[in-house]
Amino acid sequence: MKRKFTSKKGSIPNGTIAQVSIGNNIAHISGQISINPESGQVERGTVEEQTKRVLENIKGIVEDMGLTMESIIKCNVFISSMKCFDEMNKVYQQYFTIDNPPARQTVAVEIWDGLDVEISAEVLID
């Protein structure tokens, strides 16, 4: 059975999109962009700054579920250009251990409102 979860520590999508959809012991976190959840404002800035905001949002959501970043089994990373990869990856590596990182794909696409980074995640719920 599917259920949704919402945390005030991440950006909350409008309309018919769940922030988190849970089924079969996997939580699927919808794409997070660099919206500050406290102010509701988009934080532009460098690729590194956007990546940090996005991963802090994801971390907050995961922690509100009673889990840690170690519970993430896959991230889908969307960047505006592959030229952004190194900047994004520099920050990304600070959030996951080298011993047991999540699977990941990184794709260059156009992101909402001209932003450079969006990340969704799949989280294992034990």
The domain ranges of the chain are 3-124
Of 116, 109, 122, nearest to 49 by C-alpha is 116
Of 125, 93, 97, nearest to 106 by C-alpha is 93
In angstroms, the CA 99 to CA 10 distance is 27
In angstroms, the CA 41 to CA 94 distance is 24
Residue 117 — φ and ψ, nearest 5°? -140, 135
pTM to 2 decimal places:
0.95
Q: What is the pLDDT of residues 7-38, one digit of tens each?
A: 999 988 888 899 999 999 999 999 999 999 99
Encoding tokens for residue 54? 């996005």
Q: At what angle do helices 85-92 and 47-64 cross, to 10 degrees?
A: 40
Q: What is the pLDDT of residues 85-125, one digit of tens each?
A: 999 999 999 999 889 999 999 999 999 999 999 999 999 99
Fold of 3-124: 60s Ribosomal Protein L30; Chain: A; (3.30.1330)
On the 0-12 / 13-18 / 19+ scale of CB atoms within 10 A, 20 is buried
